[in-house]
């Protein structure tokens, strides 16, 4: 029973991080057709910014969170405007340049902070007992709560606001949205900003638990990619469902067998899905 509840809680935390990352990745893919392999590099940049501002400089928590998330968003805009926009016609070129950028960010952080793991101070030091049995630290709980709030806000934002409808319009029909007076290039920039911010939030909140290091982008990249394809590229609900599946699978396997096998099982799932149903669980048919 205790193990079951532990799996439930830790699986939820794991899934929430993947969901935050995968939603951003899926958004920019669905709208602009950009496979942004530098997405988890934004997650890393967010983690390092919060480390610099909050743990090293000892600034106010809310202030450093806002600054690091917005700064990462601006980095996202720069990447989109300077590097992706000129190549957006070719899917392969975009993938290659974003992976080059991810390496670039890795090297920038490696030369600034060195190859060692950096430990961050927790935002709030406490441990709770959930359901009277499962011990969980405040940081993980905070991550879970923030992720849920952010994802609900994002969903409302996309489905309910005028701005969100513009994003949906560009995703559905680029030419049609131009006739409606929407500038697709500007929408791409906005979406990239949101996507980078989401990655930065995920990075900032999980970093105190996992630590920050210059290779931290590699591990979630494959996982996030798996979530997005499993859910169907560009499908919001599908992506979250897939993040939950992958997050829980990993935790279940890690609890019952070994932490390394969790990774393998996730990869096995996706290789199977790619063979059987390449459009994912809730994806539309690729054109």
Partner 1 sequence: MMNQLHGLEQSLPASPLHWKRFRAHFAIVILLLLLPVFVKSIYVIDLLIVCNVWAVFLSSWDLLTGYTGQISFGHSLFIGGGAYTAGFLSFYLHVPFWITIPLGGCVAAILGFGLGLPALRLKGPYLALATFAASAVLHGLSAVFWLYSGGEDGLYGVGPLTRNYFVKYYWSVALMVVCSGFLLFLVNSQYGLILKSIREDESGAEASGINVTKYKLLTFIMSGFLAGVAGAFYGHAQMHVGTDLLSLNLSIMVVLMSVAGGMGTIIGPIVAGYLLILLNEWLRVIEVVRVLIYSFSVVLILLFIPRGIVPTIISIAETLISKIKSPSRS
> Based on CB atoms, which residue is closest to partner 1, 14 or 139?
14
| Alpha carbon distances (Å) from 147 to 106, 190, 197, 211, 240 | 25, 20, 12, 18, 11
Find tokens 């920039």 and name the residue. Answer: 189
Q: Does position 59 bind partner 1 by CB under 8 A? A: no
Q: Does position 287 bind partner 1 by CB under 8 A? A: no
Q: Does position 252 bind partner 1 by CB under 8 A? A: no
Residues within window 253-272 making contact with partner 1, judged by CB under 8 A: 258, 260-261, 263-264, 267-268, 270-271
Answer for the pair 151, 19: CB distance below 8 angstroms, yes or no. Answer: yes
Angle between helices 184-210 and 162-172 (to 10 degrees): 110
Query: Which x/- pattern, by CB under 8 A, does the window 26-45 give for partner 1?
Result: ---x-----x----------
Q: Does position 133 bind partner 1 by CB under 8 A? A: no
Residues within window 163-182 making contact with partner 1, judged by CB under 8 A: none
Answer for the pair 38, 221: CB distance below 8 angstroms, yes or no. Answer: no
Q: Does position 101 bind partner 1 by CB under 8 A? A: yes
Report the C-alpha gap between 173 and 114 in whole angstroms: 45
Q: Which residues pair with 127 in a beta bridge?
A: 137
Structure tokens at 126: 């406490």
Which residues lie near partner 1 (CB under 8 A)? 29, 35, 82-83, 86-87, 90-93, 95-97, 99-104, 107-108, 110-111, 215, 218, 221-222, 225-226, 229, 233, 258, 260-261, 263-264, 267-268, 270-271, 274-275, 278, 286
């Amino acid at each position: 029973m205790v193990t079951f509840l532990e799996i439930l809680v830790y699986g939820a935390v794991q899934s929430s991080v993947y969901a935050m990352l995968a939603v951003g990745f899926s958004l920019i893919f669905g709208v602009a057709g950009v496979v942004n392999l530098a997405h988890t590099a934004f997650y890393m940049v967010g983690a390092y910014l919060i480390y610099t501002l909050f743990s090293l400089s000892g600034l106010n928590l809310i202030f450093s969170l806002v600054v690091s998330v917005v700064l990462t968003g601006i980095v996202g805009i720069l990447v989109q405007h300077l590097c992706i926009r000129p190549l957006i016609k070719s899917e392969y070129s975009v993938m290659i340049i974003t992976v080059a950028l991810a390496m670039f960010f890795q090297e920038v952080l490696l030369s600034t902070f060195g190859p060692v793991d950096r430990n961050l101070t927790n935002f709030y030091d406490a441990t709770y007992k959930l359901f009277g049995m499962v011990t969980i630290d405040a940081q993980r709980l905070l991550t879970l709560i923030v992720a849920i709030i952010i994802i609900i806000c994002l969903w409302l934002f996309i489905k309910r606001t005028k701005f969100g409808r513009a994003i949906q319009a560009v995703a559905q029909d680029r030419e049609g949205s131009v006739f409606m007076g929407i500038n697709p290039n500007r929408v791409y920039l906005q979406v990239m900003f949101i996507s980078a911010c989401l990655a930065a939030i995920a990075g900032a909140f999980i970093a105190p638990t996992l630590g920050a290091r210059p290779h931290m982008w590699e591990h979630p990249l494959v996982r996030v990619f798996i979530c997005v394809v499993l859910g169907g590229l560009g499908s919001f609900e599908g992506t979250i469902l897939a993040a939950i599946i992958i997050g829980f699978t990993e935790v279940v396997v890690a609890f019952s067998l070994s932490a390394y096998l969790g990774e393998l099982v996730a990869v096995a799932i996706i290789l199977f899905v790619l063979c059987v149903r390449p459009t994912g669980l809730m994806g539309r048919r690729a054109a």
